Structure 1
Amino acid sequence: MLIDATTYPSLHSELGLSSGQPAQPESQKEQQCSTTLIRTSEDLRREKLSDRDIYPVAKNSMSNRVALLITNIKFTDEKLHRKGAEKDEANMDKLLTDLGYEVVKHTNLTGKAIDDALNEFSKHPKLKETDSVLVVIMSHGKLGTVLGVNWKKKISDNEIPDEFPIDNIYKHLGPEKCPALLNKPKIIIIQACRGGGEGSVLVTDGANPAVVSDTAGEGNIEDDGLRFVNKEKDFISLLSCTPDTVSYRHSGHGSFLIQFVVEVFNTFAQKEDIEELFRKVMQRFEDFSIPAKRQMPTKDRCTLTKRFYFFPGL
């Protein structure tokens, strides 16, 4: 959802957006977030990698990192244009590059084209050597889907909606179709609404109301040179909001999710693992003081069995 001064004048003022400044959560105001990526020390990397619960990150694998960035900005229906998404694209491109990832970038794709881009990405030659991948998709969305640029509200009975099923990400990058990423972290960030509902409810705490917006036996098993692996493992996703709710975007500064991801990663990726980074992003929204307008990013389908650190700058 786009926040503009005309539709939500009081909200715009509350956020301080009328002055052209991004909103700052209350608990973070005294903490200065870095505008550039802070580098990890080599000593910290050695210390972390001595832990068996850490995903391996070698210098060679770091130099082969690759990420997929898909941003839908302009739609066939001009009313669906995502003002400010250009800023999101630029911010994520810079962050991914600073983290050491070669960025495969696509803009304004249909649902089928998004699927094709992921299929092509799953065959990227660098995946054999990389330690991880990042996939960022930013568009309009519904629960379980991302909308393609030709999406429209009303379609005829014989038309297929221009949508990309989010579940396809896990199919394309899972071990069956992408063995190169077996046992490697696959990090997904999706900035898209998951419905049309508001993310806030009115709750009452005592007398003080407040607004808070399948088994088989194994005796006869023989080794026939085959190895079974988990169908889905080593994924972690951050979705911009909870199911059936909207997410917000500023026409000048871009979506709040991407703003906070960039700020948190710049400041803390030097020493924190991906799950902690995502938690910190979520915390920014917890303290985000917007009367009756709330958004809460959601960690989804997390199957990481170890901790993953980016070790930026090494």
Structure 2
Amino acid sequence: MAADELRRVRKGFVENVTVPQIRQLLDDLRTQEVLNEEEKDSVLEENPSRADKARTLIDMVLKKGNVGCTKMINILKKEHPQTCLALGLNAPPVVQRDLAPNPGAEDDSIYPLNEEAPRLALIITNKTFKNARLNRSGAEKDEANMEALLRSQRYEVVTHKDLTGKQIEKAVSEFSKDQRLKQADSAFVVIMSHGKMGAVLGVNWTEEEPDEFLIDNIFKYLSTESCPALLNKPKIIIIQACRGAKSGAVIVSDNIASDSAGGAEAQPAPHAVEECLEEDTLHFAHQEKDFVYLLSSTPDTVSYRDTRQGSLLIQYIDQVFQASSRVDDIEELFRKVMRCFESKLTNKKQMPTKDRCTLTRRFYLFPRH
């Protein structure tokens, strides 16, 4: 029975489910009338840790009997297939008609895929800074999540940690010259650090000696002129870095003005006991073809980094891509990531922004088999 099945995976659920997944489950269980609004709020407000939230949630559903347990299992299978696999709940196979159209050469509205050639991705993660107050707890989780996700999408991943601004520039430049890009059908560049308007910060950054990498340089190095190997191929850029100075709960701010003023921590707000905030300010006016660029928030707002689970942006990207990358094109995937923030952050404002999108076709990460 469903209750027995849910009880069997209880320990794994408590150990592995993330806070964003808990919030989405609560919304879905409320919609399906398994839980009421008071029960939903009590899970979030009365449990300080992620594990306590997860434990209370699953125990609450177990008390609802087989009908409630069945609904929760079905939600998990539909919305969180990777979690189902990890827990030992067998997700149903994807229905063939729901898969993306076959992106073959005969359909010029879809970027062609090369299933036999390597795909390439670059991940740069800055966690440990010269000024220890700027260290980014939880960044290692973001790096691990993004690397695992991109490998699952058939990308060979080049990783770098704790780079200066000049080293970031060198890493992007070298990536643009990788000979494997000639056979690749697409490329990802993911940079996670502190930031300011138009730049991400290197690990040696101080107010007296700024250490920065200009974000526009990504477009310069991956442009048609500098990187002809990626001509007419999708280039997906994801930046997790600061975009404002508003404060929130248990703050670790990537906004340098806030950090310098000694405002690194604040009283926890509801639903945010374990979270740290990162503020991500980036803007582009570059017009290059076949780019799509996702920033982790709108101007003047912060983005959040859980010190244990990593940033909310990366958690939601992982969640959405795992569930929908075989069905949706990249722009729809990003839209679903943005929707995750629409109702989940009631007390803390964050909305990712898809900027400078110059994709002329739809890009699917997987073809139809």
- TM-score tier, shorter chain, comes to 0.7 to 0.9
- Partner residue, 2:310: 254
**1:42-57 pair list within 5 angstroms:** 44=99, 47-49=102-104, 50-57=106-113
SS of equivalent to 2:157: strand
- Partner residue, 1:288: 344
Tell me the percent identity. 56
For 2:301, which of 238, 245, 261 is the aligned residue? 245
For 1:35, which of 82, 87, 91 is the aligned residue? 82
For 1:19, which of 50, 65, 76 is the aligned residue? 50
Query: TM-score under structure 1 normalisation?
Result: 0.76
Label 1:20 to 1:76 Cα distance change in 2 as closer, same or farther (>3 A).
Answer: farther
1:299 matches 2:330: no
Q: For the Cα contact (< 8 Å) 2:102–2:367, is it kept in 1?
A: no
**Aligned equivalents of 2:361 and 2:167: distance in 1?**
33
Query: TM-score under structure 2 normalisation?
Result: 0.65
Cα deviation, residue 177, structure 1 = 0.7
**1:212-223 pair list within 5 angstroms:** none
Q: For the Cα contact (< 8 Å) 1:74–1:81, is it kept in 2?
A: yes
- Partner residue, 1:308: 363
1:266 matches 2:322: yes
**Aligned equivalents of 2:170 and 2:96: distance in 1?**
38
SS of equivalent to 2:344: coil
- Partner residue, 2:239: 190
Cα deviation, residue 120, structure 1 = 0.3
Q: For the Cα contact (< 8 Å) 2:101–2:367, is it kept in 1?
A: no
Q: For the Cα contact (< 8 Å) 1:98–1:312, is it kept in 2?
A: no
- For residues 93-113 of structure 1, give each alpha carbon's deviation from its aligned partner in whole angstroms, at most 9, with x where no partner exists: 100111111101000001110
Label 1:131 to 1:17 Cα distance change in 2 as closer, same or farther (>3 A).
Answer: farther
- Equivalent position amino acid for 1:117 in 2: A
Cα deviation, residue 289, structure 1 = 3.5
- Which structure 2 residue ranges, 5 or more long, are not aligned? 1-42, 58-71, 86-90, 249-285
**Aligned equivalents of 2:164 and 2:325: distance in 1?**
33
**Aligned equivalents of 1:308 and 1:46: distance in 2?**
11
Label 1:170 to 1:252 Cα distance change in 2 as closer, same or farther (>3 A).
Answer: same
**1:107-118 pair list within 5 angstroms:** 107-118=161-172
Q: For the Cα contact (< 8 Å) 1:99–1:313, is it kept in 2?
A: no
**Aligned equivalents of 1:171 and 1:290: distance in 2?**
38
- Which structure 1 residue ranges, 5 or more long, are not aligned? 1-11, 200-229
Flag the structure with more relative contact order, 1 or 2, with Cα contacts below 8 A and sequence separation at least 6: 1
Q: For the Cα contact (< 8 Å) 1:142–1:244, is it kept in 2?
A: no
Q: For the Cα contact (< 8 Å) 1:197–1:244, is it kept in 2?
A: yes
1:162 matches 2:211: yes
